[in-house]
Copies of this chain bind each other. A is one copy, B any other.
Amino acid sequence: MPETADLDVLRGLFTGRLLLPGDDPAAIAPFLVDWRGRWHGAALAVAQPDTVDGVCAVMRWCHQHRVPVVPQGGNTGLSGGSVPDDTGRALVLSLSRLNRVRQVDTVNNTLVVEAGVTLAAVQQAAAEAGRLFPLSLAAEGSCTIGGNLATNAGGVQVLRYGNARALCLGLEVVTPEGELWQGLHGLRKDNTGYDLRDLYIGAEGTLGIITAASLTMFPRPAGQAVALVAVDTPAAALQLLQHAQQQAADQLTAFELMSELCLKLVARHMPSCRMPLSTPAPWFVLLEVSHPQSAALASSALESLLEGAMEAGWVLDAAVSQSETQRQALWALRENISEAQGAEGKTIKHDISVPISRIAAFVEATSAAVAQAFPEVRLVVFGHLGDGNLHYNVSPAEGASGAAAAAGFLALEAPLNALVHDAVAAAGGSISAEHGLGVLRRDEALRYRDPVAHRLMLQVKQAFDPLGLMNPGKLLPR
Q: Which A positions have Cβ atoms within 8 angstroms of B?
A: 105-110, 151-152, 154, 158, 162-163, 165-166, 175, 179-183, 185-196, 198-199, 201-203, 207, 218-219, 221, 238, 242, 245-251, 292-293, 353-358, 384, 387-389, 428-437, 441, 445, 448-450, 452-454, 456-457, 459-464, 475-476
Can you list 28 A-B contacts (CB < 8 A)? Answer: A105-B355, A106-B242, A106-B357, A108-B355, A108-B357, A109-B245, A162-B166, A175-B452, A175-B456, A181-B453, A186-B355, A186-B428, A187-B355, A187-B428, A190-B353, A190-B433, A191-B437, A192-B431, A192-B441, A192-B445, A192-B448, A192-B449, A193-B449, A193-B475, A194-B207, A221-B249, A247-B292, A247-B293
For A162, list chain B residues within 8 Å (CB): 166
Given A242-B107, A249-B292, answer yes or no on A457-B187 (Cβ-Cβ < 8 Å).
no
**Copies in the assembly, this chain:** 2
Closest to A250 in B: B250
A78 to B221, CA, bound (A): 39
Beyond known contacts A105-B357, A175-B456, A189-B434: 19 more, CB 8 A cutoff: A105-B355, A106-B357, A151-B191, A181-B452, A181-B456, A187-B353, A187-B430, A187-B433, A188-B388, A188-B389, A189-B433, A192-B430, A192-B448, A193-B449, A194-B202, A195-B198, A195-B203, A196-B453, A199-B199
For A452, list chain B residues within 8 Å (CB): 175, 179-182
Check if A190 sits within 8 Å of B432, measured CB to CB: yes
Check if B202 sits within 8 Å of A389, measured CB to CB: no
A187 to B362, CA, bound (A): 14
Check if B453 sits within 8 Å of A183, measured CB to CB: yes
Partner of A192, one of B165, B198, B242, B432: B432
A475 to B147, CA, bound (A): 31
Partner of A194, one of B109, B203, B248: B203
Partner of A430, one of B163, B185, B457, B460: B185
A453 to B172, CA, bound (A): 11
Given A195-B199, A196-B456, A292-B249, answer yes or no on A190-B430 (Cβ-Cβ < 8 Å).
yes
Check if A464 sits within 8 Å of B459, measured CB to CB: yes
Expressed in whole angstroms, the minimum distance between the Cβ of A187 and any Cβ of chain B is: 5
Check if B453 sits within 8 Å of A193, measured CB to CB: yes
Check if B195 sits within 8 Å of A109, measured CB to CB: no
Given A187-B354, A450-B182, A464-B459, answer yes or no on A219-B192 (Cβ-Cβ < 8 Å).
no
A165 to B249, CA, bound (A): 21
Closest to A162 in B: B166
Closest to A154 in B: B189
A460 to B463, CA, bound (A): 7
For A188, list chain B residues within 8 Å (CB): 158, 163, 353, 387-389
Expressed in whole angstroms, the minimum distance between the Cβ of A94 and any Cβ of chain B is: 22
For A433, list chain B residues within 8 Å (CB): 187, 189-191
Expressed in whole angstroms, the minimum distance between the Cβ of A347 and any Cβ of chain B is: 20
Expressed in whole angstroms, the minimum distance between the Cβ of A71 and any Cβ of chain B is: 16
A433 to B192, CA, bound (A): 8
Expressed in whole angstroms, the minimum distance between the Cβ of A361 and any Cβ of chain B is: 11
For A448, list chain B residues within 8 Å (CB): 192
For A457, list chain B residues within 8 Å (CB): 193-194, 196
Expressed in whole angstroms, the minimum distance between the Cβ of A70 and any Cβ of chain B is: 18
For A242, list chain B residues within 8 Å (CB): 106-107
A446 to B430, CA, bound (A): 38
For A389, list chain B residues within 8 Å (CB): 188-189
Expressed in whole angstroms, the minimum distance between the Cβ of A351 and any Cβ of chain B is: 8
Q: Which of A158, A198, A431 has the most CB of B within 10 A?
A: A198
For A246, list chain B residues within 8 Å (CB): 219, 292
For A181, list chain B residues within 8 Å (CB): 450, 452-453, 456
Given A185-B430, A356-B109, answer yes or no on A436-B191 (Cβ-Cβ < 8 Å).
yes
Closest to A453 in B: B181
Expressed in whole angstroms, the minimum distance between the Cβ of A366 and any Cβ of chain B is: 17
Check if A219 sits within 8 Å of B249, measured CB to CB: yes
Given A199-B194, A456-B464, answer yes or no on A450-B183 (Cβ-Cβ < 8 Å).
yes
For A353, list chain B residues within 8 Å (CB): 187-190
Check if B189 sits within 8 Å of A437, measured CB to CB: no
A203 to B437, CA, bound (A): 27
